[in-house]
Structure 1
Amino acid sequence: MRISIITQGCKVNQYESELIIEMLENAGYIVFSGEDQGADVYILNSCAVTSEAERKVRQTLRHLRKLNPESKIILSGCYVQVPRVQEEYKSLGVDLVLGNREKKRILNFLNDFGEYYDLNYWKEDDISFEFVENSVTERSRAFVKVEDGCNNGCTYCVIRTLRGTKIRSKPVEVVIKEIEKLVSKKHKEIVITGLNLGKYGLDNGSSLAKLLIKLTKINGEFRIRLSSINPEDLTDELIEIIKNEDRICNHLHIPAQSGSSSVLRRMGRNYTAEYFLSRVQKLREFDPVFSISTDIMVGFPGESELEFNETLEFVRQAQFSKVHTFRYSQRPNTAAARFENQVPGNIKKERAEQLIQHAEHIANEYRKKLIGKTTMVLVEGIQNGIAYGYDEYYLYHESNTGIVGEFSTVKICSVTKEGVVSKVVQKQVSNE
C-alpha cells in the first residue's frame, strides 16, 4: 500500500508527521510526502491556528478528493479538534478522521472508516513514547518534540483549547536517547521543539535549561537549535547556557506578536515591548549579531495607528533577522473575538503590507552586518553547482561548493533578497 502524508502548520506537527511516517514504514507500508497522484491513502496532518489555516485544510481536502476519487483520505491534527467543524467532514470527502491522540496510534485505525477523536484527550495524554529514530523528510536536520500543551492565556489563540492547557514534557532520558539515535543516522542539526517550549519541565521537575545542559554533552558532530520560545521564558540562566555552549545556535525565534505594550496587554501576553527588547539586548551583549526572528500580528482588535507605529519602531529597534507577519483573524471561543473595535479588513491588509516592507528592509540591514563574518553552514543540497543551506544564525546561504549533509566553514561575501552569498574557506577562521 502506498501512503502519502501532507503536513500543515507548526514544527510540532512536522515532528508528529515524522512519527507517523516511521510507524507506517516499520509496518511495511510505502510512505512519501506531498499531494502527487498515485497514493492509495492520503493523510492530511492539519493545522487550525488561523482562519486561513482552516481554509487551507478544506481546500487541500477538496483538491485531494478531486484528483484521487478512489483513494482513502484521512484527516488528522488540530483541525479535527475544533468542535464546530465536525459536521464538515463528510462534505469534504474524508473517509477517516483521527484526533491528535489517535493519529499517533494510526496503525490501530488505518483500515477503519468514521470519526475517532477526543476533544479532551490532553488531560490524559502522554508523550513519553514519542520517539523518532530517523528523519525522512529532512536529510540533514531533525526535529525532536520535547513538550506539548500551553497554559498561557492569550486572548486571541485557539490552539491551547485544541492541544490542551496541561503541560506534558518528555522525560530527559527519552530525549537523550532519541537525539543519540538521530545523530547516529548522520543528522547534523537537532531542532528542539514544543508547543510552548519554555514551559518544558514544569510537570517533571526539570526545565529547558537543565535539559539543554545534558543535551550538549551528547557525543557526535551536531548542533542544537531551539525552535521557538516566548519572551517571558527566556531567563538569564537560559541565555547564559546559550552563551557558553558553542553547540547551541545563536538564533532564537521569539514570538513578539506586537511591539505595542498596550496591545500586548489586550492580547494577554505576559511581557511588555520594553521587556522583549531587554531580552534582545541581553542576547546581543555576547554576540552583537545574535539572530532573532519573530511573529507579529497586525490588526488586533482596537489597534490604533499609534500602536501600529509603535510596532514599526519596535521592529527597527530589535533588528530582527526575519519577521513573519500575519493578520489577526477572529477565532471561535476566544476572548478577542468578542472584543469591540474590530479592525476592518482593508486596514489589516494595508498594515500587513507596510510591516512586511519595513521588516524586509530591517532584515536586509541585519544581513549586511554579517558580511565578512565566518559562519558554519549545514549544506542541504546542491543545485546547478551551487551549495545551499543554513548557518547557525539561520541565514540561508548560497556557496561555491560543499558536501550535502556536512558542515562547511564559509565567509559571507554579500547579501541577497533571501539570504547571503558565501564562499568556503579552507580552514577555521576567527569570528573576530
Structure 2
Amino acid sequence: MHPESNPAPAARPTSAQAAQKFYIKTFGCQMNVADSERMAALLAEQGMTPADEVEDAHVIILNGCTVREKAVHKAISTLGSYHKAGRKNAIKPVIGIGGCVGQLEKEQLFKQAPYLDFVFGTDTIDNLPEIVNRVQNGEKHVVFADFDKSMDYSTETKVHGHKAQAFVNIMKGCDKYCSYCIVPFTRGREKSRTIDEVVFDVARLVAGGVREVTLLGQNVNSFGKGNENVKKREPQELNNIIGKVGPRAGEENFPQLLRAIDQDPRCVNLKRIRFTSSHPLDFSDELINCYATPEKGGVAKLSPHLHLPVQSGSNRVLQKMGRHHRIEHYFAQMERLRELNPEVGITTDLIVGFPTETEEEFEETIKLLDRVQYYNIFAFAYSPRPGTRAAKLPDDVPDSVKNERLNRLLQHQLEISGRNFAECVGKTYEILVEGEARNQNLVEKNRVEKNRVEKGTAAEIESGAKPVAAGGRVWMGRTGCNRVVNFVSDSNRNLLGKFFDVKIIAASRLSLQGELVVTPTFAEDAANAKVEFSNPMSALSNPMSELMTSEVVS
C-alpha cells in the first residue's frame, strides 16, 4: 500500500522495540550514506540499538543504489544472504530495502525477493519507524515510495551518536537528465533548502562537536534555483565560465551558502567545509573564487578539494551523454582553479564504453587525465539503465572492450596518482582522524603495495615505513585536499574525530603514510575536541567501504 501525500507522524516506540537491534547496509554514493545515518538516528529514537552482526538484528535494512545494473543485482544478492542469516536464530527479523532501489523498483522487488517485508523510497525515509511498526504488527509487503511533489524542501540533519564529521543535505533531485543517468527518476526534481535553514543546521551540529561538514546534493551548483520559499537577497552578478546565465535576480546560490557558513559566528569551531557533487555546466567563477586564500577573498573553511565529474574527454561523447558542456570549457575551469589555488586536489567521475565510443575518443579521455592530473578518479564501464535516453541507443561497445578500456584507464590514473602522492613525502598536513586503518600492519601493507608499483611511478614505500609498537594503533585520516593518510600512534588512546599535524614519510599510488608531529597528550585532546566521539560508522556496518569505487577488472 502507498502512504498519503503527507508523511505520517513518527510511531511511538514499543517496549519490544526498545530492546531491539537494527542493521543497515549501504551501497552507493555519499547521499545514500547520509540517508543511512538518518535511518539509524530515526530507529535509535525508537529505543533501538545498532547490531554488530546481521545475525543479531531484529530489523535489517539495505539502502541500495541503482546507478549501475551491477549495483542492483548486488543489492538483491545481499538481501538473500541476510535472509538466510536471519533464519539461523530465533529472532526472525523484518527485512526492508530503501534508497534508489526502493524508489525505482517498488512492488517489483517482492517478486525478486518474496521474503522482503517492506520497501521505501528516497522521499519517505522519515516514515521508517511507522513502516517497521506496521510490519512487526503483522502487515505484509508494505510500500512507501511516493515522491513528495511539492517544491518545498525543509529538513533537519540527523546524526547517530557524537562525531566530528557530518553529511548535510542542502538540496535533492536533479533536473539535468543526462542521457545515461537514472538519478532524476530516483531522486526527483531539484529542491533546495534555504541558506538560513542550512546555516542553522550546521551551527547545531557544530555545537554538538562536529568539526567537518560535507554539503550534499546531486548538483550543489543548482542550490537555490527555483526555491519558492527563499528569502530574497540582493541580486549578484555571476559570470559562468561557459557563458551561461547565472542565478536569476533574488535567488540564493551555492557560493553564498559557503560564505554564510564560513562567516557565521555560531560556526566558529567548524574547521572544514566539503561538498559534493558538482556539474561543469553550473560551475561558476563565483564558486571558483571561493577556493582562493582568505587574503584574496576565498572561503577560509572550504577544503582545497573539488570533485567535478567530467564523464568523458570527447566532445562528441559528451554530446551523446547530454552533458551540455564541452571539454574546452572544462579545461578552462581547471586552469582557472589551479591558477587561483595550486593546492586544490581534483577528482572526477568517468564512464568508458558509452554507446558509439571509438578507440580514438577513449584516447581523448586518457589525454584528459594527463592534462588535469587528478588525484583520483571514479571510473565505470557503461551500464544501460531502464527509462533513460541512452538505453535506446545500441549498446555497441562489447563488454570485453569496455573492461579493457576501464583497466587501461585505471592503470594510467594509478601512475599519475603515484607521482602526485610521491610529491607529498616530507610535507606536513593537518589530518582529521576518521578511524582505525583496516590493516594494522603498515610494514606488511607497504611491502605488498611496493610489489604492485612499477618502477618510477611512486616513492619507495618501505623506506619510511614505521612498524607498529606493542599496544599501538594505526589510524586513518584525510588531508584537506582529500588524500588518505595512515599513521601510527604508539599510544592506545582514542584519536577518532581529532585533528593532528602529520608528516608524510612514505607514499603509494593509493595512500600516504605519516607520523605524528607531536605525540597526543590529554591536554591537547581537551583543546582539540570538546566531546568524545564514537565510531561514526558503527550503526551503518561501515558503509564508507561500499562507496562507489573502481577496481581493475580481471
TM-score (norm 1): 0.92
Partner SS state of residue 290, structure 2: helix
Any idea what SS the aligned residue of 1:386 has? Answer: strand
Distance 2:435 2:130 in 1: 37
**1:112-133 Cα deviation digits (max 9, x unpaired):** 23232345x142364412322x
**Residue aligning to 1:131:** 157
1:67 paired residue number: 85
Taking the aligned partners of 1:6 and 1:12, their CA distance within structure 2 comes to 14
Q: Distance in 2 between matches of 1:211 and 1:278?
A: 24
Tell me the residue number matched to 1:79. 101
Aligned to 2:510: 418
| Contact 1:267–1:336 (Cα < 8 Å) also in 2 | yes
Match of 1:12 among 31, 37, 62: 31
Q: Which deviates the most, 68-77 or 411-420?
A: 411-420
Change (3 A) 1:135 1:209: farther
Give unmatched runs, 5+ long, in structure 1.
428-432
Tell me: higher relative CO, structure 1 or 2? Use CA pairs within 8 A at least 6 residues apart: 2
The runs of 5 or more residues in structure 2 that have no matched partner are 1-19, 135-139, 228-250, 293-297, 441-471, 520-554
Is the 8 Å Cα contact of residues 102 and 116 (structure 1) preserved in structure 2?
Answer: no
Once the 2 structures are TM-superposed, how far is the Cα of residue 102 of structure 1 from its aligned partner? Answer: 2.2
Query: What SS class does the counterpart of residue 239 from structure 1 fall into?
Result: helix
Post-superposition Cα deviations, 1:28-81, rounded to whole Å, max 9, x if no partner, equal: 12234x753110110111111110111111111111111113211011111122
- Asked if residue 46 in structure 1 is aligned to residue 42 in structure 2, the reply is no
What letter matches 2:74 in structure 1? Answer: K
Distance in 2 of aligned mates of 1:31 and 1:127: 29
Q: Is residue 289–residue 369 contact of structure 1 (8 Å, CA) maintained in 2?
A: no
Task: Check whether the contact 1:122–1:163 (CA below 8 A) recurs between aligned residues.
Answer: no
Change (3 A) 1:368 1:288: farther
Deviation at 1:346, TM superposition (A): 0.6
> Are the counterparts in 2 of residues 209 and 238 from structure 1 also a CA contact under 8 Å?
yes
Structure 1 range deviating more: 104-113 or 250-259: 104-113
Number of aligned positions between the proteins: 421
**Contact (CA 8 Å) 2:103, 2:120: kept in 1 or not?**
no
User: Match for 2:272 among 202, 218, 223?
Assistant: 223
Look up the SS of the partner of 1:175 in the other structure: helix
Question: Following TM superposition, by how much is the alpha carbon of 1:229 offset from its aligned partner in structure 2, in angstroms?
Answer: 1.0
Aligned match for 1:213, one of 235, 238, 259: 259
| AA aligned opposite 2:516 | V
Do 2:308 and 2:348's aligned partners in 1 also have CA atoms closer than 8 Å?
Answer: yes
Q: Give the alignment of 1:330-409 within 5 angstroms.
A: 330-340=384-394, 342-382=396-436, 383=440, 384-401=472-489, 403-409=495-501
Question: For residues 198-230 of structure 1, what are the alpha-carbon distances to aligned partners after superposition, in whole Å with 9 as ceiling and x for unaligned?
Answer: 111102321111111111122214211112211
CA distance, structure 2, for counterparts of residue 35 and residue 162 of structure 1: 29
Task: State the distance in 2 between where 1:426 and 1:174 align.
Answer: 39
Q: What's 2:449 paired with? A: none
Closer/same/farther in 2, CA of residues 279 and 353 from structure 1, 3 Å limit:
same
- Which of 82, 100, 124 pairs up with 1:102? 124
Equivalent-residue separation in structure 1 for 2:408 and 2:53 (angstroms): 34
Query: Alignment RMSD, CA only?
Result: 2.0
> CA–CA distance in 1 between the matches of 2:395 and 2:34?
38
Give the equivalent residue in structure 1 for 2:363.
309
Query: Quick check: 2:258–2:299 contact (8 Å CA) kept in 1?
Result: no
Change (3 A) 1:426 1:38: closer
| Maintained 8 Å contact 1:135/1:141 | no
For structure 1, which segment, 393-402 or 204-213, has the greater mean C-alpha deviation from structure 2 after superposition?
Answer: 393-402
User: Which portions of structure 1, spanning 4 or more consecutive aligned residues, are displaced by more than 6 angstroms?
Assistant: none
Query: 1:398, CA displacement in angstroms?
Result: 2.0
Residue matched to 2:328: 274
Q: Which amino acid aligns with 1:354?
A: R
Shift of 1:90: 4.3
